Structure 1
Amino acid sequence: MAQASPTPAPPLSGPMMIFAGLILAAANFLVVLDTTIANVSVSNIAGALGVSPSQGTWVITSYAVAEAVVVPLTGWLSARFGAVKVFVLGMLGFGLFSFLCGLAPSLSLLVLFRVLQGACGGPLMPLSQTLLLKVFPPKYAPAATGLWAMTTLVAPILGPILGGVLCDNVGWAFIFWINVPVAAICGWLAWKLLNRYETPLAPARVDVVGLALLTIWVGALQVMVDLGKEHEWFASPLIVTLAVIALLGFLAFLIWELTDANPIVDLRVFRHRGYSASVVTLSVAFGAFFGINVLTPLWLQQNMGYTATDAGHVSALLGVTAVMMAPFAASLSAKVDPRRLVFAGLVWMGLITVMRSQANSQMGFFDIGQWLLLQGFGMPLFFVPLTGLALACVDEPETASAAGLMNFCRTLSGAIATSIVSTVWTDNASRNHNDLAGVLNDPQAVMDQMGAVGMSTEQARGTVDQLVQGQSVMLATNQVFLAMAVLFVAAALIIWLAPKPTRVVDTSAVH
Structure 2
Amino acid sequence: MKSSRLILLTTTVIAAAVMELIDTSIVNVALSHMSGNLGSTLEDTAWVITSYAIANVIVIPLTGFLAALLGRRRYFIGSVALFTLASLACGLSTNIWELVAFRFIQGIGGGALLSTSQVIVFEAFPVNKRSVASAIFGIGVFTGPTIGPTLGGYILDITTWNWIFLVNIPIGLAVLIGAIFLVEDPKQSQSVTHIDYLGLLLLIIGVGSLQILLERGDQEDWFETVYIRYLALTAGLGILGFIWWELRIDKPIVNLRVLRSPTLAVASLLTFVTGVGLFSSVFLTPVFAQRLLGFPALDTGLLLLPGALIAILALIMTARLLQAGVPTQVIIMAGFALFITFSWKMGHLGPDAGKSDFYVPLIFRGVGLALLTVPLTALAVSGLRPDEIPQGAAFNNMMRQLGGSFGISGVNTFLANRMAEHRTDLVTNLTLNDLETVQWVGAVSRRFVAQGSTELNGLQQSYQLLDQSVNRQAAVLSYLDAYMAVGLLFVAAMPLILLVFRAGAKSNAPVVLSDH
Work out whether the TM-score is over 0.5: yes
Shift of 1:101: 3.0
Q: 2:223 aligns with which of 216, 234, 246?
A: 234
Q: Give the direction of change, closer, same or farther, for the CA distance of 1:381–1:138 in structure 2 (3 Å limit).
A: closer
Q: Give the direction of change, closer, same or farther, for the CA distance of 1:401–1:419 in structure 2 (3 Å limit).
A: same
- Whether the aligned pair in 2 keeps the contact of 1:157 and 1:320 (CA below 8 Å) is no
- Whether the aligned pair in 2 keeps the contact of 1:91 and 1:186 (CA below 8 Å) is yes
Question: 144-153 or 208-217: which moved more?
Answer: 144-153
Q: Give the direction of change, closer, same or farther, for the CA distance of 1:491–1:50 in structure 2 (3 Å limit).
A: farther
- Whether the aligned pair in 1 keeps the contact of 2:24 and 2:145 (CA below 8 Å) is yes
Shift of 1:470: 0.8
Tell me the SS of whatever aligns to 2:443. helix
Shift of 1:324: 1.6
Question: 137-146 or 25-34: which moved more?
Answer: 137-146
Q: Tell whether 2:116 aligns with 1:122.
A: no
Q: Give the direction of change, closer, same or farther, for the CA distance of 1:140–1:351 in structure 2 (3 Å limit).
A: closer
Partner of 2:430: 440
Question: 138-147 or 485-494: which moved more?
Answer: 138-147
Shift of 1:328: 2.2
Shift of 1:150: 4.0
Tell me the SS of whatever aligns to 1:501. helix
Shift of 1:395: 5.5
Q: 1:476 aligns with which of 475, 478, 491?
A: 478
Question: 271-280 or 347-356: which moved more?
Answer: 271-280
Provide structure 1 residue ranges, at least 5 long, that are not aligned to the other structure.
1-10
Q: Tell whether 2:52 aligns with 1:63.
A: yes
Provide structure 2 residue ranges, at least 5 long, that are not aligned to the other structure.
450-457
- Whether the aligned pair in 1 keeps the contact of 2:79 and 2:110 (CA below 8 Å) is yes
Q: Give the direction of change, closer, same or farther, for the CA distance of 1:129–1:409 in structure 2 (3 Å limit).
A: closer
Matches within 5 A, 1:15-414: 22-41=11-30, 59-60=48-49, 62-104=51-93, 109-129=98-118, 148-188=137-177, 190-191=179-180, 193-194=181-182, 202-334=191-323, 335-394=325-384, 398-414=388-404
Matches within 5 A, 1:412-431: 412-431=402-421
Partner of 1:452: 446
- Encode CA deviations 1:199-221: one digit per residue, 9 max, x unaligned: 98955433222222112112212
- Determine the C-alpha separation between the residues in 2 that align with 1:272 and 1:140: 22
Shift of 1:487: 0.5
Q: Give the direction of change, closer, same or farther, for the CA distance of 1:338–1:303 in structure 2 (3 Å limit).
A: same
Shift of 1:485: 0.8
- Whether the aligned pair in 1 keeps the contact of 2:135 and 2:318 (CA below 8 Å) is no
Shift of 1:31: 1.7
Partner of 2:492: 490
Shift of 1:62: 4.1
- Determine the C-alpha separation between the residues in 1 that align with 2:355 and 2:179: 42
- Determine the C-alpha separation between the residues in 2 that align with 1:55 and 1:477: 26
Tell me the SS of whatever aligns to 2:494. helix
- Determine the C-alpha separation between the residues in 1 that align with 2:315 and 2:353: 29
Amino-acid identity (%): 30
- Determine the C-alpha separation between the residues in 2 that align with 1:21 and 1:310: 32
- Determine the C-alpha separation between the residues in 2 that align with 1:127 and 1:340: 29
- Encode CA deviations 1:45-73: one digit per residue, 9 max, x unaligned: 56767889898765555434422321233
Shift of 1:19: 5.0
Question: 462-471 or 163-172: which moved more?
Answer: 163-172
Normalised to the residue count of structure 2, the TM-score between the two structures is 0.84
Q: Give the direction of change, closer, same or farther, for the CA distance of 1:101–1:148 in structure 2 (3 Å limit).
A: same
Q: Give the direction of change, closer, same or farther, for the CA distance of 1:49–1:506 in structure 2 (3 Å limit).
A: farther
- Determine the C-alpha separation between the residues in 1 that align with 2:43 and 2:363: 27
Normalised to the residue count of structure 1, the TM-score between the two structures is 0.85
- Determine the C-alpha separation between the residues in 2 that align with 1:177 and 1:137: 37
Tell me the SS of whatever aligns to 1:171. coil
Q: Give the direction of change, closer, same or farther, for the CA distance of 1:491–1:132 in structure 2 (3 Å limit).
A: closer
- Determine the C-alpha separation between the residues in 1 that align with 2:108 and 2:410: 23
Amino acid at match of 2:468: Q
- Encode CA deviations 1:43-100: one digit per residue, 9 max, x unaligned: 6556767889898765555434422321233333334333333223222221222233
Shift of 1:294: 1.1
Amino acid at match of 1:257: E
Question: 354-363 or 109-118: which moved more?
Answer: 109-118
Q: Give the direction of change, closer, same or farther, for the CA distance of 1:64–1:313 in structure 2 (3 Å limit).
A: farther
Amino acid at match of 2:91: G
Shift of 1:175: 1.8
